[in-house]
Structure 1
Amino acid sequence: MDRPRVVTSGAVSEIVRAVKAFAEEHLTGPPVCVGLSGGPDSTALTAAAVRAGLDVRALIVDHRLQAGSADVADKAAAVAEMLGAEPVIVAVDVTGGGGPEAAARRARYTAFEAHRADRPVFLGHTLDDQAETVLLGFARGSGARSVAGMRPWAPPFARPLLGVRRATTVAACAELDVTPYDDPHNEDPRFTRVRLRREVMPLLEEVLSGGVAEALARTARHLQFDVDVLEGMVDDHSAVVAGDTAECRDLEVLPGAIRLRLLRRWLLANGATEPTETVVRAVDALITGWHGQGAVAIGGQPAFRTQVARRGARLVIEHRDR
């Protein structure tokens, strides 16, 4: 296949530089996948990856949630081929709880894992997406891990455009003379992110005289360094919560930031269903605020209830019939 002509205008060049810088820092070879929705971010990323000299396979996930979704996928595949990438369309079923956004995301990432063929997967998240993620983390009181936002490199997933504004990807598509897909979900106020993008962020930019998106993205970068240090300390103490029992005296001497993270890991390893802060702190109280309270439910299977109880000087994972 002939390569498309190289476009050297400003927006395209900025994105190509971002992709090249990421590839030089993190990758050892040119084959990559790009998650291509057909929107401006992923379209610009696909073009930039090709122009950065990478061997690009465009993974196009058809969620089949809207009428005509197969046509949208076909058009995205045609654009990918025109840009110099190999298109692969994957149709998925969107099922499960957590709302339509979460279910679609799970289906999409499962498809990426199944079809990436050991290649890293480039995702088109921009600085604006990062700012929105950080703001949502603040609003939900989700803690440092969530406020730290998305990581540029969390193998196999790569986000080379976290330093690039959304407006730049739109401008790049115009330079490339490509009309990206305009997803109607991006205008639907039923989705929290849409209202955040359309209403909250513009208001914050106005009230705080601009620079809010960049500041939030900076906050994410700083917190990622801090979280990495804490997670390393948690790794150093992982033996404390090996198996289905844990000694309270070994845990109570640890700083709270480390102990709570250890407990969350321990709960997940023993069948917890995405333990909330309330659950983790209730388990922590069995150590630091013990006054004879009962066991803490952490989830389980339909046939039994999984709980954490304090038995003497130990925490014990127990399974009880429902």
Structure 2
Amino acid sequence: MQDALASAGYPERILVACSGGPDSLALASVVSYFARRGHVHGHPVSAAAVVVDHQLQEGSGEVAAHTAAILEELGLSPVQVRTIEVASTGFGPEAAARDARHAALDAAAEDLGCQFILLGHTLDDQAEQVLLGLARGSGTRSLAGMRAARGKLLRPFLGLRRTETLEICEVEELEAWHDPSNADPAFARSRTRVEVMPVLEDKLGPGVAESLARTAAILQQDADFLEELATKSYAGMVNRTDDGVWLPEGALRELAPALRFRVIAKAAADVGGQQPGYGRLHAAEALLRRQGSAGPVQLPGNVSVYRLSLSELERDAAAGPREGGGCGKLVFRHHTSPQH
């Protein structure tokens, strides 16, 4: 906990996100200890808390109210309950709930003047995240898992096992709520937690969760390095127009494939798209091997990618291939509605 706050520059005001489950309740208990002392290593600190009611289960309002009462007893102040509507986003119920929850947490932090939001994810959550990424064939960024610090989000318990948070609740005599959806086989994460991880531990021996979490830590460094290179590459080649952006084919071809795919993804995000999967990215990248105008390739978030031939004037101005390559550009445009 102290390391997490130190890495954030010792914020004076923090917000604990608590569902009432053992992980976040244990986190709230630890945070309340420092809040009662009023400082961490001599740096002043106070803590508020928020409970997000997703309204996805019967009785969720009562669970939220009960959790809020526990948080008030711990001394966190103020404690808010935020009731949200989880709208379908087309990316599954878990993603929709996460997006709605994070929006509520951001709003609560703003209202309560908190610089950082603390989440109760554990090492077990990290291991499950990496395993799900492997099963889905995701890239480096996904396999890097959750970060201990990302923006205003802090996860101080990423080094703790779930059994340890249960022990904290037991020692502090806290009545934790156990979310029934965590054992619901309808959700991939629940199946991973209840069915897959125990089998791996049984067949491969103890330490699987720690190994998966260590893999995430290693890949985070690799992902950060590639992200930095891709950001610099994109900034050096992007051309903006009134209705989108375009990238010179020659400059893209000179990039290593790992960077080329990331630069294409950045262009899609730049015009308002969502992170493309590998298949869509590969289809967009394949336009570089076409002759003349080609496309469009549709990317998530209503983004279309085209290959267009460069005019003579554009060939002189753009960073083209050094020898023998085509003279074209990839154009990225966002549409208000899906293109057919």
TM over 0.5: yes
Match of 1:88 among 80, 83, 98: 80
Matched, 1:145 2:141: yes
Which secondary structure state, in structure 2, belongs to the residue aligned with residue 295 of structure 1?
A: strand
**Do 2:23 and 2:120's aligned partners in 1 also have CA atoms closer than 8 Å?**
yes
Q: SS of 2:299's equivalent?
A: strand
Within a 5 Å distance, the mapping from 1:67-78 to structure 2 comes to 67-78=58-69
Q: Does the 8 Å CA contact 1:46/1:56 hold for their aligned counterparts? A: no
Q: Write the letter of the residue equivalent to 1:105.
A: R
RMSD: 1.7
Contact 1:295–1:309 (8 Å) recurs in 2: yes
CA shift, 1:36, in A, is 0.5
Alignment of 1:223 onto 2:225: no
Cα separation, 1, equivalents of 2:205 and 2:301: 49
Alignment correspondent of 1:9? none
CA–CA separation in structure 2 for the residues paired with 1:183 and 1:294: 47
Residue aligning to 2:96: 103
The SS at the match of 2:252 is helix
Q: Distance in 2 between matches of 1:75 and 1:48?
A: 19
In structure 2, the residue matched to 1:187 is 183
Normalized against structure 2, the TM-score is what?
A: 0.84
Q: Gapped runs of 5+ residues in structure 2?
A: 36-44, 310-327
Q: Distance in 1 between matches of 2:48 and 2:272?
A: 36
Q: Structure 1 residues 300, 221: CA separation in 2 closer, same or farther (over 3 Å shift)?
A: closer
2:54 counterpart residue number: 63
Does the 8 Å contact 2:11/2:116 carry over to 1?
A: no
Is the 1:271–1:299 Cα contact (8 Å) retained in structure 2? no
Q: Which residue of 1 aligns with 2:29?
A: 47
Q: 1:60·1:77 contact (CA, 8 Å) conserved in 2?
A: yes
Structure-to-structure mapping, 1:122-133, within 5 angstroms: 122-133=118-129
**2:15 is matched by which residue type in structure 1?**
C
- Whether the aligned pair in 1 keeps the contact of 2:271 and 2:333 (CA below 8 Å) is no
Contact kept in structure 1, 2:51 and 2:68, CA below 8 Å: yes
Q: What is the match of residue 25 of structure 1?
A: 7
Could you say what secondary structure the match of 2:129 adopts? helix
Change over 3 Å in CA distance of 1:180–1:259 after alignment to 2? same
C-alpha distance 300-138 of structure 1, shift in aligned 2 (>3 A): closer
**1:202 and 1:251, CA in 2 relative to 1: closer, same or farther beyond 3 A?**
same
Measure, in 2, the Cα distance between the counterparts of 1:224 and 1:28: 24
Match of 1:112 in 2: 105
Task: In structure 2, give the amino acid aligned to 1:165.
Answer: R
In structure 2, the residue matched to 1:15 is none
One of 169, 173, 191 as aligned partner of 2:169: 173
Shift of 1:184: 1.2
Aligned length: 299
**Equivalent position SS for 1:46:** helix
Does the Cα contact within 8 Å between 1:186 and 1:194 map onto a contact in 2?
yes
Query: Partner of 2:238 in structure 1?
Result: 241
Q: What does the per-residue CA deviation read over 1:103-122, in whole Å, with 9 as the maximum and x for residues that have no partner?
A: 11111101001110242100
Residue identity over aligned pairs, in percent, reads 40
Corresponding residue for 1:266? 267
State the shift of 1:294 in Å: 3.2
2:306 is equivalent to residue 290 of structure 1: no
Structure 1 unaligned spans of 5+: 1-18
Equivalent-residue separation in structure 1 for 2:17 and 2:138 (angstroms): 27
- 2:234 is aligned with 1:252: no
1:154 matches 2:150 = yes
Amino acid at match of 1:143: G
TM-score, normalised by the number of residues in structure 1 = 0.88
Separation (CA, whole Å) in 1 of partners of 2:275 and 2:221: 24
Partner Cα distance (1:21, 1:318) in 2: 44
The C-alpha deviation readout for 1:276-316, integer Å capped at 9, x for no partner, is 211111111112x3256532122565xxxx42111111112
Determine if the alignment matches structure 1 residue 212 to structure 2 residue 197. no
Question: Residue 317 of structure 1 aligns with which residue?
Answer: 332
Residue 304 of structure 2 is aligned with which of 299, 304, 307? 307
Q: 1:82 Cα shift?
A: 1.1
1:243-298 per-residue CA deviation (whole Å, 9 max, x = no partner) reads 211110011001111111010010121233432211111111112x3256532122
2:276 aligns to what SS in structure 1? Answer: coil
Alpha-carbon shift at residue 242 of structure 1 (Å): 3.9
In structure 2, distance between residues paired with 1:216 and 1:101: 22
| One-letter identity of the residue aligned with 1:256 | P
Aligned partner of 1:60: which letter? V
